[in-house]
């Protein structure tokens, strides 16, 4: 595959590569939220939230809708949640693997010493 495509995809993953932005996307699972609502639920300060939202906008992960003075954000493509679910699955698999490894190490040390 093309190097340029990988460049674009890397930008996409960079947009996801921050805890605050993942938290924002998680909040948006239940539908659109205003900046103020996001600010309250993540308890971060306002410019921080706006900056992360700008980053998410830059990669077209979210879209903004203005109503008077408040801006509502929503994810642009619900497939993003699908992506986050697969990521969660990978995460859980890793945890299971490590637990199995720990169990195995415990057993080996028991049979060596006992």
Asked whether the beta carbons of 32 and 72 are under 8 A apart, the reply is yes
Choose the stretch contacting a second copy; rule: CB under 8 A; options: 30-38, 45-53, 92-100, 105-113. Answer: 92-100
Of positions 12, 70, 103, 106, contacts a second copy by CB under 8 A: 12
Site for a second copy in 14-43 (CB under 8 A): 14, 16-23, 26
Residue linked to tokens 């509502």 = 72
Q: Is 54 in the site for DNA (CB under 7 A)?
A: yes
Q: How far apart are CA 104 and CA 114, in angstroms?
A: 15
Minimal CA–CA distance to 49: which of 30, 32, 36?
36
Between 66 and 110, CB nearer to DNA = 66
How is residue 111 written in tokens? Answer: 């049979």
Using CB distances below 5 to 8 A depending on partner kind, what does residue 96 bind out of DNA, a second copy, none? Answer: none
Terminal alpha carbon distance of the chain? 54
Tell me which residues touch DNA (CB under 7 A). Answer: 14, 17-18, 20, 34-36, 39, 45-48, 50-51, 53-55, 64, 66, 68-71
């Amino acid at each position: 595959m093309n190097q340029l495509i990988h460049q674009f995809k890397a930008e996409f993953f960079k947009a996801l590569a921050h805890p605050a932005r993942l938290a924002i996307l998680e909040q948006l699972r239940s539908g659109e939220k205003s900046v103020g609502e996001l600010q309250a639920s993540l308890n971060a300060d306002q410019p921080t939230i706006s900056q992360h939202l700008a980053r998410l906008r830059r990669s077209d992960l979210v879209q903004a809708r203005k109503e008077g003075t408040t801006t509502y954000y929503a994810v642009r493509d619900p497939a993003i949640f699908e992506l986050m679910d697969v990521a969660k699955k990978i995460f859980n698999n890793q945890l299971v693997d490590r637990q199995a490894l720990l169990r195995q190490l415990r057993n080996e040390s028991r049979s060596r010493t006992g």
